[in-house]
Amino acid sequence: MKSFIEKLNSKYVLQEVVYQRDDLVFAAIKKENAIDAITYLRDYEDFTHLVLMSCVDWIEDGKYQLLYLLHNPILKNDIGIKVYIDRENPEMVSAHHLWKSIWTYQREMHEAFGIVFPGSPRLKENFVVEGWDEIPFMRRDFDTHEYAEKTYFPRGNRKSNDPAEYMRKKLYPSQPVTAKQRKDDK
């Protein structure tokens, strides 16, 4: 695997190379070269099978990371190609011409993260949610907690306790405490 990665590195500059297992390597490739590299892997290096495609939201870095996981059925090797794209303007060259199955993945990425793959068939059709009018739900800045609160009505028979407050009332109710707690008590 190592010599193959070195060869690939000479063609397309690889970054963040991680030898995860003997038969699995991850590497990042620049956005401009990624589809070229994936095509090369499929057509010349026998990585003919697309295992999956996924996405990670690196909100702190202002990037989305796409992952194309490819399988070589002859050598039984896997390679994961990571591609970082700008989070503000998330657009990636479509790979729908390489595998038909990638249509669905790209449709999912579009719905869950808002990533655009120009030319990808049926891209804007609903995937798992209908009538969604919030920001894409897999983005890290989507507040699931807040959404759950406003969307699903609370059951009347539920009541919770804050551990610190509950302990105060049970163990030291008369102790002078913080200004905020004094105010709450009143």
Partner 1 sequence: MNIKDILTPFTAWANVVKEPVTIKDPFNREAAPRYRGFHDNDIEACIGCGTCEAICENQAIDLIPVDGVETKDGDSGLRPQVDYGRCCWCALCVDICTTDSLRLTNEYTWIDTDPDNFIFTPGVTPKSWYKKEEGWRKPGNGYEFYSKERVDMEELHAEERIDSFIEFVKGYSKEQAEKEADRCVSCGICTATCPAHMGIPEYIKAIRNDDLEEGLRVLYETNPLPEICGRICTHKCEDVCSVGHNGDPLSIRWLKRYIADQNPSEKYKEILNQDTSKSNGKKVAIIGAGPSGLSAAYYLALLGYECTIFEKLPEAGGMMRYGIPEYRLPYDQIDKDVNYILELGVEIKYGVNIGTDIKLEQLGKDFDAVFSGTGLHLGRSTRIPGTDNENVYFATDLLREIVLGKDIYVPEKIVVIGGGNVAMDITRSLARLQQIKYGKVDCTATSLESEDIMPADREEVVEAREESAIVDPGWGPKSIEIENGKVKGLNVVKCLSVFDENHAFSPKFDEDNKKFFPADMVVESIGQGMDLSYLSKEFKEKLKFTERGRIKVDEYFQSGVEWLFVGGDIIEGPDVIHGIANGHKAAVGIDNLLNK
> Which of 2, 89, 179, 183 forms a contact with partner 1 (CB under 8 A)?
179
Q: Which stretch binds partner 1 (CB under 8 A): 71-79, 111-119, 126-134, 167-175?
A: 167-175
The verdict on 150 binding partner 1 (CB under 8 A) reads no
Rounded to whole angstroms, the Cα distance separating 99 from 50 reads 7
Q: Which of residues 9-28 bind partner 1 (CB under 8 A)?
A: none
Integer Cα distance of 108 and 115 in angstroms? 9
| Distance between CA atoms of residues 133 and 130, nearest Å | 9
Which residue, among 79, 92, 78, has the nearest Cα to 30 in the 3D structure? 92
Q: 75 and 46 in contact (C-beta within 8 Å)?
A: yes
Whose Cβ is closer to partner 1: residue 118's or residue 176's? 176
- How many helices (H) and strands (E) would you count in the chain? 6, 5
Stretch that binds partner 1, among 2-10, 57-65, 104-112, 161-169 (CB under 8 A): 161-169
Q: Which of 124, 161, 184, 185 binds partner 1 (CB under 8 A)?
A: 161
Q: Is 162 in the site for partner 1 (CB under 8 A)?
A: yes
Determine if 59 is a binding residue for partner 1 (CB under 8 A).
no
Q: Which residue has the tokens 């907690």?
A: 145
Q: Residue 175 Cβ, how far from partner 1 at the closest point, in Å? A: 6
Question: Which residue's CB is nearer to partner 1, number 89 or number 160?
Answer: 160
Token pair of 17, please?
């190379």
